[in-house]
Amino acid sequence: MSSIATKFSIWWLNRQAHTALIFKRSEQAIEIYRRMVAVDPSYDEARIMLGNLLAEAGDHAGAAQELDRLTQVNPGNADGWFNLGFLHDKADNLAEAERCFRRAVQLKPNLDRAWYGLGLVLIRAGRLEEAVEALKQNIKIQPFSPYGYYQLGMTYHHLGRSDEAAKVVEHLAGFEPKFTATLKRDLEQTPSRSKSGPESNSQPKEEITAEST
């Protein structure tokens, strides 16, 4: 197929996929995106959409296969690594999720959602000092992210760094009073991990969502 024909085919398939998504015809959209990547295997955005739709449909193995393929064909695509990390995180495969999120931020240091995802993975792995550094990067890029500040405050708390947790509360109060109240309550009611062991968990947690490009 010529370059012009390929571009026209992709344009037309994109229009069809957009219509299918508007009318919530997920199965039809999946098939259209399958056709897109068959026409142009290097079309990263279509493969990300295909992976996300397969994951939403419950086909996590198929989604991982598509995103694995993307990172093999284009290892420099940070969004592909983020989405693959998201899948591994949902499957509780922490080691692979960490690897993917780290690769994503290495390629795209301002990808705030990957820093946040990395922070949550490190919290769940009990590596709280490392989680602090990841969450700091998240709020540096997204300075008005209440979830990032919440997780940072709770992580400081679990590390026994109460002064730093208090500073997070004070800063958060400047733009998110509702979240500040929640963080204050949870800091008061949640035993630190040094006292309760590694089973303690911070809430609320922002739902990390796959990223479409």
Residue 45 belongs to a domain: no
Given pLDDT bands bounded at 50, 70 and 90, which one contains residue 207?
Answer: low
Closest residue by Cα to residue 159 from 119, 134, 125, 131 = 131
Residue 135 belongs to a domain: yes
Closest residue by Cα to residue 82 from 56, 112, 123 = 112
Asked if pLDDT for residue 1 goes beyond 90, the answer is no
Contact residues for 153 (Cβ-Cβ < 8 A; gap 6+): 165, 168, 169, 172, 183, 187
Closest residue by Cα to residue 97 from 84, 111, 112 = 84
Structure tokens at 206: 């922002």
CB 123 within 8 A of CB 131: yes
Q: How far is Cα 26 from Cα 52, in angstroms, rounded to an integer? A: 11
CATH of residue 205: 1.25.40
Residue 62 belongs to a domain: no
**What percent of the chain stands above pLDDT 90?**
87
Q: What is the pTM of this model?
A: 0.87
Residue 192 belongs to a domain: yes
Q: How far is Cα 175 from Cα 144, in angstroms, rounded to an integer? A: 7
Instruction: Give me the pLDDT at residue 196, please.
Output: 46
The mean pLDDT of the chain is 92
Residue 75 belongs to a domain: no
Q: How many domains does the chain have?
A: 1
Q: How far is Cα 186 from Cα 150, in angstroms, rounded to an integer? A: 10
Q: pLDDT tens digits, residue range 55-94?
A: 999 999 999 999 999 999 999 999 999 999 999 999 999 9
Residue 97 belongs to a domain: no
Its domain, for residue 202, covers: 126-213
CB 39 within 8 A of CB 9: yes
CB 201 within 8 A of CB 186: no
> Which residue's entry shows tokens 């609320």?
204
Residue 2 belongs to a domain: no
Asked if pLDDT for residue 208 goes beyond 80, the answer is no
